Structure formats: C-alpha cells, structure tokens
Amino acid sequence: MGVRRHAKPATPTHHFACTACGKCCYGWLPLTLADALTQAGRFPLAMVWTPVPQTSRAFDLTAQLGTTVQLAKRKRVAVLIAPTAYLPPSFPCPALSAENRCVIHAEKPLRCRSMPFYPYRRAADQADMLVPRTGWVCDTSASAPVVYRNRGIVDRTDFDRERAALLAQAPILRAYADTTLQHYPEVMGRLQQAAQNPATGRFVVGFWSFLRQHRSEDLVTFAKAQHPVLIEFSDRTADLPTLAEYRRYYQDAAAELAWFAQRA
C-alpha cells in the first residue's frame, strides 16, 4: 500500500505593478521631515497627529515611530506625528503633470518611492495595501511582478529606506510632541477628543508649530518657500465651500509665516 503524500500549501504571493494612472497622487501625502523641508516650495505642509489605542496591532510600531501619551482615566495611546502635504482629497499632487507623470521623479519623496507599501505598518501586515482602491488601475494580474510573498516584501529597498528615515526622525518629533502637549493644552484637548474615535480620530496642527521649536532650520528660507504655496492654495480653495476647512488652515498658516517671508 502506497504512502499518501500531502502537497505543500502554496506560498501566498501578490503581484503588483504601477500603470502610472496617477490616481494615488491625490490628497494627503505623509512625508519624512527631510522631504517636507525639501518640498516646502511645492506642498502646503501640516503636522497630522493620529492617536492609536493600545488594543491596536499598530500600537508598538506607532510608539516607536512617534510617542506615547497618558490620557485621562489611565488611558494610554501611541501617537503618530506625520509631516504631511496637506492637500484636499480632490486635488492632485502639484508635481503631477497633465499626462499623469511625476515631474520630480528624480527627487520625489520617499513615501512615493515606497508605494504601495506603507512603513507605518509591519512588513507582515501589508497585503491589503496591494488591493487597488476604487478607480485605481494598478496591475495586479499574474503577469505583474511578484512583490509580496508569504507576508514578506520581495524588494525591501525603498521600504527600508523610508522606515529608517522615520526611525531617525522619531526622537525629534517625540521632543516636539512632548513640548507641544506641555505648553499648549488645546492640543491635548484635541488629542483626547481624537482618541475617543480611533477609526477617524486624527487632527491637523500647523507645521510652523514644529519649526518654532526646532530652531536648527533657517526659518526665513522656509517661510519664503512655503508662504507663496499657502497663498496659492488659499486662492484655489476660495470658491469651494466644501473645502472651507482647508482654506482656513492655509490662511492661518500663511499669516504665521508672513513676517518671516517678507524678511530681506
């Protein structure tokens, strides 16, 4: 009587290739600090704070890349503080051409290079990032390259570069968060409110709040680059009532930078 052999289970693989449809180049874009400062003359910048509860799978990694905060009733959250190109969801990236091509390909941010992978998650939790959103035309057919196998990223080069940059900047953002929460109780209030709804709880703080503390940057140079961008986006959202929140942010941020931007 022969021995029945059991076939080995197939290794889960995921195929993916970019088709340059440009559909992912809309709305918010998380950046490293270095990329944010480099692109200050192109993107309207903000700091996005996102609390993550202890029950989340992302808690430990978020704490490593961001900070942890003790809230009321002994509630502890990890907080991600992400420099962000603060664009309305309907607005394309300023570096996206009419032909859906990136005009800064040689110097594009690390976030764009790592797509579709997301270094704020563990490498083993990336599979759903390879499922195109509605309207996206990414190639996930069997003829596309295998990019994810057995819960591992096949080519980790760009992913590891972005993760390393996020880890390197974490102490700087942690110090910024600690000082901000200590001296600005309204930010702590917004954090507590956001933590009550983990699914959608995040809020925006002016990027200038970071530069006021991190004095190693040339404030005048930054303001001269960022101020006209904020004015441009304020004008572009002026007649769009649904984007009033964005316009208020652009106007307020531009007002904070005006004096530095006018320096000789």
Contacts of 8 (CB under 8 A, 6+ apart): none
Domain membership flag for residue 72: yes
Domain membership flag for residue 262: yes
In the predicted model, is pLDDT for residue 6 greater than 80?
no
pLDDT single digits (tens) 17-49? 999 999 999 999 999 999 999 999 999 999 999
pLDDT single digits (tens) 72-131? 877 899 999 999 999 999 999 999 998 888 999 889 999 999 999 999 999 999 999 999
Phi, psi of 141 (to 5 degrees): -75, 170
Domain membership flag for residue 8: no
Q: How many structural domains are present in the chain?
A: 2
Is 149 in the same domain as 193? yes
Residue 11: per-residue pLDDT = 64
pLDDT single digits (tens) 11-24? 689 999 999 999 99
In the predicted model, is pLDDT for residue 264 greater than 80?
no
Residue 201: per-residue pLDDT = 86
Residue 105: per-residue pLDDT = 84
Is 236 in the same domain as 114? no
Residue 13: per-residue pLDDT = 94
Instruction: Give the pTM.
Output: 0.91
Is 92 in the same domain as 202? yes
Domain membership flag for residue 7: no
Q: State the residue range of the domain holding 251.
A: 218-264
Domain membership flag for residue 41: yes
Residue 12: per-residue pLDDT = 87
Is 242 in the same domain as 195? no
Is 121 in the same domain as 133? yes
7 Rama sector, left if φ>0, alpha if ψ -120 to 50, beta otherwise: beta
Residue 216: per-residue pLDDT = 66
Residue 212: per-residue pLDDT = 86
Domain end position, chosen among 214, 230, 245: 214
In the predicted model, is pLDDT for residue 187 greater than 70?
yes
- Least confident range from 51-65, 112-126, 206-220, 236-250: namely 206-220
User: DSSP assignment, residue 242?
Assistant: G
Residue 213: per-residue pLDDT = 86
| Sole residue written with tokens 């003829």 | 143
Residue 1: per-residue pLDDT = 44
pLDDT single digits (tens) 149-183? 999 999 999 999 999 999 999 999 999 999 999 99
Domain membership flag for residue 82: yes
In the predicted model, is pLDDT for residue 2 greater than 60?
no
Is 38 in the same domain as 163? yes
Is 228 in the same domain as 262? yes
pLDDT single digits (tens) 201-217? 899 999 999 998 887 66
Is 43 in the same domain as 88? yes
Is 156 in the same domain as 256? no
Which amino acid appears at position 220 of this protein?
V
Is 148 in the same domain as 237? no
Is 260 in the same domain as 185? no
Is 154 in the same domain as 255? no
Q: What is the mean pLDDT of the chain?
A: 92
Cα(80)–Cα(85) distance, integer angstroms: 15
Beta-strand relationship, 45-53 and 203-206: antiparallel
